[in-house]
C-alpha cells in the first residue's frame, strides 16, 4: 500500500472540520449557532431560528462531507469491493477522522456538533443499505417521539449492529462501535434531559 494513502486520514479530518451550520448561518444572516438554543452547530439547533431552509442546507452539508470523505477514500484506495473496503484499516481511520473533525473542528476552536448528519453520510458512503437502515431507525423514532436526540441515540446504537448483520465481524463494525460511543458521549446532556423530561422536541424554539 502506498504510504501516501495515509494522508487520507488528516484530509478527512479537515473535511469534517467544515461547519455547515456556521457557514449557512453566515450566508443567510442568521445568528451564530453557538449563541442560542443548545449552542450546538447542527441542523436541529439551526431549525430553532425558524428557518427551515437553513436547517435543511445544514443537514445536507454535514451529511455530504461524511459521504464525500468516504467515497473519495474508497476511490483513491482503488478498492471497489465491499468486503475489501471493510477490511481496510485506512478506511476505518478515515471514518473516525471525518467524524472527529465534526465533533472537534480545528476551524472552530475544536467545538463542534454531535455528528448525527455526518455519521449518516459516513454510513451511506460505506454501504447504502447500512445507511438506509440506520436512517430509517432515526426517522421512525423521531416521528413517534419528536425527540431528535433520542432518535440519534437509537440510530447510533443500531448502526454497528446492522453492520455486523450485513457484513459479519469486520474492522468497520468495531470502528462504528467507537463512533457510537463517541456519539452517546456527545449526547450525555440530552440523555439526562430525556430522563428528567426537560428535553426539547423537534420544531420547538429554545431561548
159: closest CA among 140, 189, 190, 138? 138
Decide if 185 is inside a domain. Answer: yes
pTM over 0.95: no
Domain count, the chain: 1
In a domain, 149, yes or no: yes
Domain range for 60 = 3-196
94-118 mean pLDDT? 93
Per residue in 12-43, is it b (16+ CB within 10 Å) or e — as a string?
A: bbbbbbbbbbbebbeeeebeebbebbbebbbb
C-alpha cell at 83: 468486503
* Mean per-residue pLDDT over the chain, rounded: 88
Q: Is residue 110 part of a domain?
A: yes
132 belongs to a structural domain: yes
Sorting pLDDT into bands at 50, 70 and 90, what band is 15?
very high
189: CB partners within 8 A, 6+ apart: none
Alpha-carbon distance of 180 to 176, in angstroms, equals: 6
Amino acid at each position: 500500500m502506498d504510504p501516501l494513502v495515509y494522508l487520507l486520514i488528516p484530509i478527512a479530518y479537515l473535511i469534517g472540520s467544515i461547519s455547515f451550520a456556521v457557514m449557512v448561518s453566515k450566508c443567510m444572516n442568521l445568528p451564530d449557532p453557538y449563541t442560542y438554543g443548545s449552542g450546538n452547530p447542527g441542523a436541529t439547533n439551526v431549525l430553532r431560528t425558524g428557518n427551515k431552509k437553513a436547517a435543511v442546507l445544514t443537514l445536507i452539508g454535514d451529511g455530504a462531507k461524511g459521504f464525500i470523505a468516504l467515497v473519495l477514500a474508497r476511490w483513491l484506495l482503488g478498492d471497489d469491493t465491499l468486503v475489501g473496503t471493510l477490511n481496510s484499516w485506512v478506511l476505518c481511520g478515515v471514518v473516525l477522522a471525518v467524524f472527529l473533525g465534526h465533533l472537534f473542528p480545528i476551524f472552530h476552536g475544536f467545538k463542534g456538533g454531535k455528528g448525527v448528519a455526518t455519521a449518516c453520510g459516513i454510513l451511506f458512503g460505506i454501504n447504502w443499505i447500512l445507511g438506509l437502515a440506520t436512517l430509517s431507525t432515526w426517522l421512525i423514532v423521531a416521528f413517534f417521539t419528536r425527540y431528535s436526540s433520542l432518535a440519534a441515540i437509537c440510530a447510533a446504537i443500531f448502526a454497528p449492529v446492522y453492520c455486523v448483520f450485513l457484513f459479519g465481524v469486520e474492522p468497520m463494525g468495531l470502528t462504528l462501535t467507537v463512533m457510537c460511543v463517541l456519539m452517546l458521549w456527545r449526547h450525555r446532556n440530552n440523555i439526562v434531559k430525556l430522563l428528567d423530561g426537560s428535553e426539547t422536541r423537534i420544531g420547538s424554539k429554545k431561548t
